[in-house]
């Protein structure tokens, strides 16, 4: 038995990749030889030559970052059985859901996420679910109220029959047939549940679409005279379980924090901090799970798995957060828009898991409350913080609510995971409203030193960085059954907007106080971990070099000059291109992804880097220079029940509209096409002394056109599949300016 006690609750398993490492190194050597070749041929020095050298240095740097990240990937294996045997009482976990817009995020989606959380396989008296509604929508509230009534039947049903997918929307899509061993009792209840759920969702749909009158009275009166960005705090306890029974329903609380036009509300980060404070007052669990409104639980035992990591007495102590991958349901086959990130999880995030740990991805994450409160790992372990801080200091840091400061002190001091003392949640409403005030953060450490950090629209990454900087680690949690599944962005435009937001937010992080460089130099981020963070935070900067390279090849063709060596020297970039592509293809195939999937992702990686990441970079520059602020544009979530079948056939086709995100891509395409036409029609200028443009430049240009093929088709298509004339016109103008100036430089 003594032996049993020593067994860890989780283990790290290192993934072998000797062959891939060898190829990684080979590619690096090729990059170095390309650079040395350029360096040696310095006598042909020209501006394009120099620019090419800079870009290729950047590509080499990027490759070093990637190689470093992928070098030693790890998996975690958790043992929930051991956890249950060992701990007398499981800790509380507070569950956070954020929603921001009842149109882009239909209430039925949020409700499904909430239902899947309420039905988690975990003692229900240890759970409390907090929903933050930045949309201040009575419809979302209505959905939750009605949904909580349904939950009283749904949760027992799920637990009785050990249902795996506990979001009814997903469940009734996936389970449409009965197994032969299903009892007639089950079938009967199944039909009953389906009936109830169908009624519920129809009801919510009718209300949301204003099909039935919805007077704002009774419970809903607080929503009258509110506007999305101008309203007082609303805190409502929807479900409160008074008895300490472990098989009832968790608490359910609705919060819409105060918003006023003159106050910064800091998007999701602001909402998360309010959730942290309100939950601190009410249930004060030592651990918190945060999910976006579309991320439903797919593995009802996921908390047990995560707790194995956070509660492991040896390696778990310095783990600040446990990250589960983002995976998607209803993802379009072969990932045409490159938004499912399967290969990135496999190689990059697992690679980071082998270092100081994965970055915080914003959703599907279990947090340690004390780490969010800004403590260092050793302060938590030895309870050092408590003696040192006076109440005055605590108020400065945590804000003016004495009740909240008391709860934070309790969080610091507790050595066990004891539960709170059974005071009714409604007693905290007034205090909860106070900590949701729009000015509560002012002058405190919230968003600056602790909690979810403000200032970047990718709040997740700096928040995680801030914890790694303090010496915390993080872990991935990858049970066999996928933990959560969300809704991949619908269509091309949504993907592009999301990518633009990430690139912009990450660039702000890279150049800001919480940059991985600063964290490595002055904090406790390990050097390889810091470098792997650069992969992420350099998305914006990377686009500058790729756009520059794309412009450079077109310039060379138009002006009949070159950046690539000729003859034997051309073999270096050529081999590089071939080996790199075969290498990534091998990675995809060995992960079980298709050739098509690989190509779609290669193509999208070029398209997004040279278009939306570039726009994101520019918008980050405007923000850094203080010229304009960037806005968090919420991703549209698909309402599965309303998806029409005719859409599915064309789900993977590129659709366009007059959004500015398509202008840069179209311009790049037009520039390459112009260059190729100039070449084909022989309109190039006379080369000086045989140094004209060669095969290398032409191949690059053709490759870009191939990547941008869907845009090329868009130039000639009509309707939503066609690029609007206004966009074509703007892009043509930009392309013309580029070509014109290219020719001018040559004549002068
Ligand atoms: O003012 C806001 C804006 C957004 N959200 C919520 O934030 C979440 C993420 O927004 P979404 O539009 O779905 O963004 P995605 O790009 O899909 O999200 C990824 O990227 C974000 C950072 O850019 C992270 O916050 C997310 O967790 C991560 O899943 C959603 O639940 C929103 O309701 C708010 O609560 N308040
Ligand atoms: Mn999302």
CA of 295 to the centre of ligand 2 (A): 8
Whether the Cβ atoms of residue 516 and residue 352 lie closer than 8 Å to each other:
no
Share of the chain above pLDDT 70, in %: 94
Q: H-helix or E-strand containing 96? A: strand 93-99
Q: Is the pLDDT of residue 209 over 60?
A: yes
Query: Domain extents for the chain?
Result: 18-72+515-630+655-747, 80-320+366-488
**Is 546's C-beta closer than 6 angstroms to any atom of ligand 1?**
no
Compute the radius of gyration of the chain from its Cα atoms. Answer: 28
Query: Considering the entire predicted model, what is its pTM?
Result: 0.95
Whether the Cβ atoms of residue 510 and residue 13 lie closer than 8 Å to each other:
no
| CA–CA distance, 254 with 143 (Å, rounded to integer) | 11
**What is the reported pLDDT for 175?**
83
Question: Which residue among 117, 266, 268, 488 has the greatest number of ligand 1 atoms within 8 angstroms of its CB, and so is best to mutate?
Answer: 268
pLDDT in tens, 240-267: 987 777 788 999 999 999 999 999 999 9
Q: Is the pLDDT of residue 357 over 80?
A: yes
**Which ligand gives the minimal distance to the CA of 290?**
1
What's CA 461's distance to the chain center, in Å?
9
Mean pLDDT on 207-216: 89
Judged by average pLDDT, the poorest of 316-320, 496-500, 638-642 is 638-642
Whether the Cβ atoms of residue 378 and residue 504 lie closer than 8 Å to each other:
no
**What is the reported pLDDT for 441?**
95
Instruction: Return the structure tokens found at 401.
Output: 């609510």
Q: Sorting pLDDT into bands at 50, 70 and 90, what band is 41?
A: confident
pLDDT in tens, 385-401: 555 677 888 999 999 99
Q: Is the pLDDT of residue 644 over 60?
A: no
Q: Sorting pLDDT into bands at 50, 70 and 90, what band is 339?
A: very high
| CA–CA distance, 490 with 52 (Å, rounded to integer) | 37
Atom of ligand 1 nearest to the CA of 265: 1
User: Pick from 38, 33, 206: which is nearest to 562 by CA?
Assistant: 38
The environment of the single-atom ion ligand 2, i.e. residues with CB closer than 5 A, is 292, 635
| Residue nearest to ligand 1 atom 36, measured at CA | 268
Q: Sorting pLDDT into bands at 50, 70 and 90, what band is 590?
A: very high
Mean pLDDT on 351-377: 96
Q: DSSP string of 653-687? A: S----S-THHHHHHHHHHHHHHHHHHHHTT-PPPP
**Is 460's C-beta closer than 6 angstroms to any atom of ligand 1?**
yes
Mean pLDDT on 324-333: 90
Q: Is the pLDDT of residue 422 over 80?
A: no
With 0-12 CB in 10 A as exposed, 13-18 as middle and 19+ as buried, what is 144? buried
**What is the reported pLDDT for 386?**
57
The H-assigned helical ranges of 177-247 are 184-208
**What is the reported pLDDT for 1?**
45
**What is the reported pLDDT for 100?**
97
Active site residues: 134, 460
CA of 292 to the centre of ligand 2 (A): 6
pLDDT in tens, 278-288: 999 999 999 99
Mean pLDDT on 186-199: 96
pLDDT in tens, 78-137: 999 999 998 888 999 999 999 999 999 999 999 999 999 999 999 999 999 999 999 999
Judged by average pLDDT, the poorest of 203-212, 266-275, 581-590 is 203-212
pLDDT in tens, 449-486: 999 999 999 999 999 999 999 999 999 999 999 999 99
Atom of ligand 1 nearest to the CA of 266: 1
Taking phi first (over 0 means left), then psi (-120 to 50 degrees means alpha), and beta for anything else, what does residue 326 get? beta
**What is the reported pLDDT for 2?**
46
| CA–CA distance, 450 with 467 (Å, rounded to integer) | 9
134 assigned binding-site residue: yes
Instruction: Provide the greatest CA pair distance for the chain.
Output: 89
Average pLDDT, the chain: 92
**What is the reported pLDDT for 110?**
98
């Amino acid at each position: 038995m003594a032996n049993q006690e020593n067994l860890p609750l989780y283990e790290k398993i290192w993934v072998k990749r000797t062959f891939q490492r060898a190829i990684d190194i080979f590619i690096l050597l090729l990059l170095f030889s390309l650079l040395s070749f350029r360096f040696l041929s310095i006598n042909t020095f020209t501006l394009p030559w120099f620019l090419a050298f800079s870009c290729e240095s950047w590509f080499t740097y990027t490759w070093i970052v990637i190689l470093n990240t992928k070098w030693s990937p790890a998996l975690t294996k958790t043992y929930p059985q051991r956890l249950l045997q060992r701990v007398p009482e499981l800790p509380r976990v507070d569950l956070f859901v954020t929603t921001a817009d009842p149109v882009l995020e239909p209430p039925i989606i949020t409700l499904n996420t909430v239902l899947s959380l309420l039905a988690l396989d975990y003692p229900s008296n240890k759970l409390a679910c907090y929903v933050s509604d930045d949309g201040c929508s009575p419809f979302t509230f209505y959905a939750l109220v009605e949904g909580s009534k349904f939950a009283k039947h749904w949760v027992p049903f799920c637990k009785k029959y050990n249902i795996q997918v506990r979001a009814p929307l997903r469940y009734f899509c996936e389970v449409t047939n009965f197994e032969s061993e299903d009892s007639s009792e089950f079938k009967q209840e199944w039909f009953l549940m389906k009936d109830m759920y169908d009624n519920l969702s129809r009801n919510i749909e009718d209300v949301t679409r204003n099909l039935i009158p919805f007077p704002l009275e009774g419970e809903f009166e607080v929503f009258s005279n509110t506007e999305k960005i101008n309203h007082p705090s609303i805190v409502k306890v929807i479900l409160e379980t008074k008895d300490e029974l472990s098989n009832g329903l968790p608490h359910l609380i609705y919060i819409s924090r105060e918003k006023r036009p003159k106050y910064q509300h800091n998007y999701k980060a602001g909402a998360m901090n309010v959730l942290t404070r309100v939950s601190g007052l009410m249930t004060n669990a030592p651990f918190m799970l945060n999910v976006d409104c579309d991320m439903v639980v797919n593995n009802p035992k996921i908390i047990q798995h995560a707790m194995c990591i956070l509660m492991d007495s040896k390696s778990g102590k310095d783990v600040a957060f446990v990250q589960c991958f983002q995976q998607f349901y209803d993802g379009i086959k072969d990932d045409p828009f490159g938004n499912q990130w399967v290969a990135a999880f496999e190689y990059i995030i697992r690679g980071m898991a082998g270092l100081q740990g994965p970055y915080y991805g914003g959703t599907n994450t279990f947090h340690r409350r004390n780490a969010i409160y800004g403590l260092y790992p050793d302060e938590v372990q030895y309870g050092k913080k408590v003696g040192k801080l006076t109440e005055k200091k605590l108020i400065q840091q945590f804000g003016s609510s004495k009740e909240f400061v008391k709860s934070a002190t309790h969080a610091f001091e507790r050595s066990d995971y004891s539960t709170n003392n059974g005071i009714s949640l409604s007693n905290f409403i007034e205090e909860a409203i106070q900590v949701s005030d729009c000015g509560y953060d002012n002058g405190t450490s919230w968003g600056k030193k602790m909690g979810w950090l403000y200032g970047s629209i990718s709040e997740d990454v700096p928040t995680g960085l801030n914890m790694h900087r303090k010496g915390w680690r993080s872990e991935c949690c990858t049970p066999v059954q996928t933990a959560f599944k969300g809704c991949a962005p619908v269509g091309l435009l949504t993907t592009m907007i999301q990518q633009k937001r990430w690139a912009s937010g990450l660039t702000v992080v890279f150049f800001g106080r919480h940059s991985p460089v600063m964290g490595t130099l002055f904090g406790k981020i390990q050097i390889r971990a810091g470098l792997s963070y650069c992969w992420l935070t350099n998305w914006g900067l990377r686009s500058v070099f790729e756009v520059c390279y794309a412009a450079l090849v077109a310039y060379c063709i138009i002006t009949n000059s070159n950046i690539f060596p000729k003859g034997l020297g051309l073999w270096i970039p050529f081999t590089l291109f071939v080996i790199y592509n075969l290498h990534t293809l091998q990675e995809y195939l060995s992960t079980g992804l298709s050739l098509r999937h690989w190509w779609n992702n290669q193509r999208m990686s070029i398209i997004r880097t040279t278009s939306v990441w570039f726009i994101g970079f520019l918008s980050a520059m405007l923000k850094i220079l203080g010229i304009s602020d960037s806005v968090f544009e919420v991703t549209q979530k698909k309402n599965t029940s309303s998806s029409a079948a005719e859409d599915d056939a064309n789900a993977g086709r590129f659709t366009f509209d007059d959004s500015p995100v398509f202008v840069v891509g179209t311009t790049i395409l037009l520039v390459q096409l112009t260059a190729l036409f100039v070449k084909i029609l022989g309109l190039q200028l006379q080369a000086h002394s045989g140094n004209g443009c060669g095969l290398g430049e032409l191949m690059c240009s053709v490759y870009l056109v191939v990547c941008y093929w869907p845009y090329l088709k868009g130039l000639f298509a009509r309707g939503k599949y066609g690029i609007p004339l206004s966009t074509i016109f703007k892009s043509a103008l930009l392309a013309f300016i580029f070509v014109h100036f290219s020719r001018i430089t040559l004549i002068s």
